[in-house]
Structure 1
């Protein structure tokens, strides 16, 4: 059922629809090399095949990981003899330097029009030399309605599909076929074909595909099973942003996807980061409970770990939020990196060695525990940045409000230089 022209491509209408960029490139016969980036089974190879079919150019398919430089040389020789060749290079993110160096002059001459296909983010995983000579287009999972069109075509096409077979596909079976494969049309069509060819006709000579038949024939697509894949990091990002945004149901959804991928390590690491980064001083007991929940999850493992994880995700979603802690340290780091340091004041320097007092180290240090309430006003920052302020407390929870009140009281007292005489010992 591979599309022969752009008109047969299902989905990706933002690229191949009437008036859209790939459609215009084909119509104007002004093809340029491009990279198609998206999940498996969503149409990357189909688009490449359809471009070749629409332009009548020779079409060759190689894999950057498994095919050799010699295979590329064969394609290049063909292009010299017959003109333009469209080369679909699967897993282009795994193209090594030797193959890349061979390809570059052929791309620049236009003899080879490269269509790279990858599931990895090309801005991260593909060499800049290749990126700079290609246009990058995102490919999206197909919608249910788009998948339905493709399945209907497969059932009715008697030349390339299953149209010659007397198939009856139940509605609930079709729904499962379309949803369980999560926008991966290749998996859906493979499952449909397996079901049709492995099911005996009934007494009416009908191949009846029921829900149970489709369930046995379709392997459910596990979301983000590749823990190193770009999409996996997108889910982790969405997980944190959902908690930060206090959307409990969205956070639980992304937690479920990470659990389904079996990535307990990423979940635990990210939850602790979220607790300190996004909840922080607004609700320190919730932060501690997040650490406890992570420890419990690590101790009991999956699937039971989902219970403490769910509890703490819900609490973090519904908790007051504050990022004043991370903002404070990042502000301090920014100043330090910019050279805003200065010399440590003499009274704070180490005085635990003979002769330190001769250097003036520690001589005028005021020991806070010698004063009422164990506090005394004195300068702690270097002279050149003595008025720096990194911490800006918020009022998003009673804990941070209390911290903020204390911070401003001490800050104001420090400015006034108020302190009392030390206790007599």
Structure 2
């Protein structure tokens, strides 16, 4: 891949000479060329900026140096690069940079980066450039930097490491954060038991020590879901980020689905509630009660080849707008134990709207399997529930 970068501080990009990207340059995997924008200014002070029309603070980068610098880049095209690069302009007003975008850009043979400074680049440069090449304005995040160089360092590293041969062990790229839409699972090294400075003994999870690769893979995926739900619930989306739900058809229930929902609920309740248990909600709701509750909750259904295999309902707490309520999480009994429940819970959590700070759910106080399931997902018992024999559990969302 060829990469050109134009900046008034070319030395800022010297960091790209070290570590894996530097090695990739030396190995010929990346052809990185840095250009000084001031070389294309023609006054003795090498001026590249001027005051903004319409007034305002700061200075604006002039169109002439940029057009000449980018023309210089375009004129160096060859057979390996194609006619023109994709021009990436870092800026807080652009589309959000992501791992998906990094992979997309890694497929281009030629990229060029324009490092703006001051209040930015004269808008006419974007118009001029768009007539000659694809232009993408890209933001690292919702904050403002002094210039585009920091963003270029980050983007070139994120893109470059995806090129074949740059990272020695390609498998290390597969389960990192944001691959597949999820954050990375926790990682550990020797010793298996470590005592910290406060005298607390901290052990590596037992599952990682047993050599059962299937169990390790399942644990790691569950950890990715749990960590993503806790730290970045915005990344979770139905059938896009959870492999367990990927092959299922998703819909929001209507009253026509009430009978089928009642059957699924009864099947789940038979599995976990004995005749002697009378906690709230048991026995299962009948069709009429299910239909009535569809008016109060948004109920999400998941089907496999037409069969209803999972459901969960959610709503904003009628009394507390910052609380997101999750209820009636159900997986068909013959499909339980495959991670569908955790994926369904993650889906319900991801539906929480802006402004929600607390997730809430309720279950039976005498259901150790369910309590363990919810506690593993980060929920904690906060007290007895509304119905006899139940407890409420909550989990705080990070701001």
Specify the structure having the higher radius of gyration (Cα): 1
The interval holding the TM-score normalised by the smaller chain is: under 0.3
TM-score (norm: length of structure 2): 0.25
TM-score (norm: length of structure 1): 0.24
Higher fraction of helix? 1
